Amino acid sequence: MSKERNAPSDERKYFLQVLQTFQSYRHQSMLRIEHREECLATLPSRHKKWLSKYKTDLEGFKKAVDTNASFVPIVVEHAKNIFENVCSQDGTTHSETEVGTLSEGLDKVQSVFKHLMRDWSTFGAEEREQCYNPIIEEIEAQFPAETSNRADINILVPGAGLGRLAFEIASRGFSCQGNEFNLFMLIVSFYVLNHCKNVEEFVIFPWIHQYCNNLSAENQMLSVKFPDVLPKLTESQFSMVAGDFLEVYTDCDEWNCIATCFFIDCAANVVQFIETIYEILKPGGVWINLGPLLYHYSDMKNERSIEPSFEILCSVIKNIGFEMEKKEIALKTRYCQNPNAMLQYEYESVFFVCRKPLNVDNCAS
């Protein structure tokens, strides 16, 4: 939720636009397939003959979109209970249908299906092992069950995505809060975390919109089931908070641990993220980070993005006041990857553990 959308009526309008975008997923995705069918229809008849399997595949893609789309109304129905204040009538006349959809929205809905694979399917287990396990193992080593009452250890996961890392931390007995500002993610994680009733209840096609670099149409039509586990936890153990990390977390010395995974490069100014992490950690608290430096604002026009290298970041981290206790490079990590595609992205992520010294009084001013 951006800074520009502070007025309740703006918030409500944006929320309704997100719902509307979810609801337009099937139609918009089908339009793209139909466009390909139209292109095919214009080809010379011998090309069409040779491409008959491709025509059949397009029918298969439509069925897959239909399956993905069947999850949308279920999610949207429950979304209305997430933010009572945003959803309730506030005197404005915005109705769900008149607000329209978001121009960049279809990509976000499609991306949610890939994140469901990453966070909540058995298929995503390997990716989670690469990305989440080093963080979880470090947390467990920092706060052993034998010497700490884990329910009293407050852990924050900013940029929580669909919530699996935060859920895994909470299910090990810690008090964990995920934070996320992308409403598409929040709406889907709310459903998975609170309303899924059975393991592997849903089937989705995470890569159905990835038209390039497929060895076979079957690879594009790979399906996964979710959730792989039923996320049942109490509110005292686990919560998800909506909003911009920089705006929501302003109280000093609050967290025993902050865990960031594929997150710090989401800042236009990464230094501001690190400074905030430092301020809100308790003295003696730890920041555990894993991920690349794929600075998200890097190529965006009109954004004041900076992209310091890891080497520079390490000196910034020290200047802010952290003590870096562990630093590893080149951890092979994937992100929402279709393992069968011809193009494979693999990050050589950095992993580090930083401590805020015990004897600091940064919140005195």
Ligand X SMILES: C[S@@+](CC[C@H](N)C(=O)[O-])C[C@H]1O[C@@H](n2cnc3c(N)ncnc32)[C@H](O)[C@@H]1O
Which residues in this chain contact ligand X in the complex, by CB under 6 A?
A: 118, 131, 158-161, 179-182, 185, 244-246, 261-263, 266
Distance CA 50, CA 40 (A): 11
Nearest to ligand X of 61, 207 (CB atom): 207
CA dihedral sign of residues 336, 76, 248, 194 = negative
Nearest to ligand X of 61, 123 (CB atom): 123
Query: Which residues, in sequence order, are CB contacts of 131 under 8 Å at separation 6+?
Result: 165, 261, 262, 290, 291, 333, 334, 335, 349
Distance CA 5, CA 17 (A): 13
Among 65, 248, 262, 257, residue whose Cα is nearest residue 164: 262
Least Å distance, CB 338 to ligand X, is 16
Least Å distance, CB 266 to ligand X, is 3
Nearest to ligand X of 118, 356 (CB atom): 118
- Using Cβ positions, the residue closest to ligand X within the complex turns out to be 159
Q: Name the DSSP class of 359.
A: S
Nearest to ligand X of 65, 224 (CB atom): 224
Least Å distance, CB 337 to ligand X, is 12
Distance CA 203, CA 223 (A): 7
Least Å distance, CB 230 to ligand X, is 20
Least Å distance, CB 182 to ligand X, is 3
Nearest to ligand X of 33, 270 (CB atom): 270
Beta-strand relationship, 238-242 and 281-291: unpaired
Nearest to ligand X of 241, 360 (CB atom): 241
Least Å distance, CB 121 to ligand X, is 13
Nearest to ligand X of 150, 334 (CB atom): 334
Phi, psi of 177 (to 5 degrees): -125, 130
Least Å distance, CB 245 to ligand X, is 3
Q: Name the DSSP class of 248.
A: H
Q: 183-195 and 8-23 are packed helices; what angle lies between their axes, rounded to 10 degrees?
A: 70
Please give the radius of gyration of the chain, using alpha carbons only, rounded to the nearest integer: 22
